[in-house]
């Protein structure tokens, strides 16, 4: 019998995670032998628990809130996109025993928007809401798509401006406040805040979406989020939640670990059905 490799997702909270279901589907589809579980890590214990995992033969970890910075500091080597994001969501042990850290959030977002939804980002005016860890991970891959410009809007304008400065070498990007959006218009708005989790909506003015504008919420759920409902009311051409991003970033992690890329579309459909079950 083949040895079964062990993987996990670390977070706090983590009970709600769909990652075990997603990676089980990937493994079945690709004929890979692995075991994947969700593990709640107590605050302040990430390095200790992650060290034990790898010392006991663990092969790879996904990292979710609030440990992506801890994982960044834990990794021995970092990918370019992880270094730019300043955060890690994927850890993998290498043949020499060192730990490799990557960030697959941005490529997951881009693949979902471009490949699955078919939305064009080149030469488009993009507004990103929020300046937290979720947004840090997507800016590099987003700017590589060649938008005309990206604006980060945040309640604390200074935080948005500082974040934009870290990515200005990759493209035209700026940071500002929600109040500064009154006369602006965008072709794509990406909600990177956690407002949808509490049923809230960022303070957005009317008519901020262009006539063929799209709206994307990085959060997901069984029902449309408040942001998605707002965008539909603003006559958005198309709206989507972030379930596809979740599956796509997981597929990138799976490929880093196993060297094979799964087909994501049937897994997106599977998880979507489980949300409404």
DSSP one-letter string for 4-41: PEEEEEEESS-TT--HHHHHHHHHHHHT--EEEEEEE-
169 is known as an active-site residue: no
Mean pLDDT across 144-162: 96
CATH number of this structure's domain 106-240, picked from the four choices 3.30.70.2190, 1.20.1440.230, 3.40.50.720, 2.170.190.11: 3.40.50.720
pLDDT at 126 over 60: yes
Q: Is 71 annotated as a binding residue?
A: no
Query: Given 3, 59, 68, 265, which residue is catalytic?
Result: 68
Q: Is 124 annotated as a binding residue?
A: no
Predicted local distance difference test score (pLDDT) of residue 137 = 92
Q: Is 225 annotated as a binding residue?
A: no
Contact 133, 69 (CB under 8 A): yes
pLDDT at 73 over 60: yes
DSSP 8-state class, residue 123: T
Torsional class of 137: left (φ above 0), alpha (ψ -120 to 50), beta (otherwise): alpha
Distances (CA, A) of 245 to 60, 63, 139, 155, 157: 20, 15, 14, 25, 27
Predicted local distance difference test score (pLDDT) of residue 31 = 95
Predicted local distance difference test score (pLDDT) of residue 47 = 98
- Asked whether the whole model's pTM tops 0.75, one would answer yes
pLDDT band at residue 239, thresholds of 50, 70 and 90? very high
Predicted local distance difference test score (pLDDT) of residue 228 = 95
Residue with structure tokens 């699955």?
Answer: 116
Q: Is 30 annotated as a binding residue?
A: no
pLDDT at 254 over 90: yes
pLDDT tens by residue, 255-269? 999 999 999 999 999
CATH architecture of the domain formed by 5-102+244-276: 3-Layer(aba) Sandwich (3.40)
Least confident among 31-35, 39-43, 182-186: 182-186
Q: Is 18 annotated as a binding residue?
A: yes
Predicted local distance difference test score (pLDDT) of residue 259 = 97
What six digits make up the tokens of 21?
């279901």
pLDDT band at residue 2, thresholds of 50, 70 and 90? low
Contact 40, 12 (CB under 8 A): yes
Strands 99-102 vs 90-93: parallel, antiparallel or unpaired: antiparallel
Q: Is 137 annotated as a binding residue?
A: no
Mean pLDDT across 113-141: 95
Mean pLDDT across 168-183: 94
Predicted local distance difference test score (pLDDT) of residue 1 = 42
Mean pLDDT across the chain, nearest whole number? 94
Where are the CATH 3.40.50.720 domain residues in the chain?
A: 106-240
pLDDT at 25 over 50: yes
Distances (CA, A) of 20 to 7, 57, 60: 9, 19, 13
The Cα 53–Cα 122 span in angstroms is 42
């Amino acid at each position: 019998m083949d040895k079964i490799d062990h993987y996990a997702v670390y977070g706090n909270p983590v009970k709600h995670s769909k990652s075990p279901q997603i990676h089980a589907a990937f493994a079945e589809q690709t004929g890979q032998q692995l075991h994947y579980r969700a593990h709640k890590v107590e605050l302040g214990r990430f390095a200790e628990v992650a060290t034990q995992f790898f010392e006991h033969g663990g092969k790879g970890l996904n990292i979710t809130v609030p440990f992506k910075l801890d994982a960044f500091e834990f990794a021995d080597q970092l990918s370019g996109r992880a270094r730019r994001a300043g955060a890690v969501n994927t850890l993998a042990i290498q043949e020499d025993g060192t730990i490799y850290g990557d960030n697959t959030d941005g490529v997951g977002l881009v693949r979902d928007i471009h490949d699955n939804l078919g939305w064009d980002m080149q030469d488009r005016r993009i507004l990103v809401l929020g300046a937290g860890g979720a947004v840090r991970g997507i800016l590099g891959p987003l700017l590589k798509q060649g938008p005309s410009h990206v604006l980060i809007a945040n309640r604390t304008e200074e935080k948005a401006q500082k974040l934009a400065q870290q990515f200005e070498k990759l493209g035209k990007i700026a940071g500002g406040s929600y109040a500064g959006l009154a006369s602006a218009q965008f072709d794509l708005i990406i909600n990177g805040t956690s407002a949808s989790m509490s049923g809230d909506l960022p303070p957005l003015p009317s008519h901020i979406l262009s006539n063929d504008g799209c709206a994307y919420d990085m959060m997901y759920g069984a029902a449309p989020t408040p942001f998605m409902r707002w965008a539909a009311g603003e006559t958005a051409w198309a709206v989507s939640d972030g379930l596809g991003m979740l599956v796509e970033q997981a597929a990138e992690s799976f490929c880093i670990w196993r060297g094979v890329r799964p087909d994501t579309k049937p897994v997106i459909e599977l998880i979507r059905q489980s949300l409404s079950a």
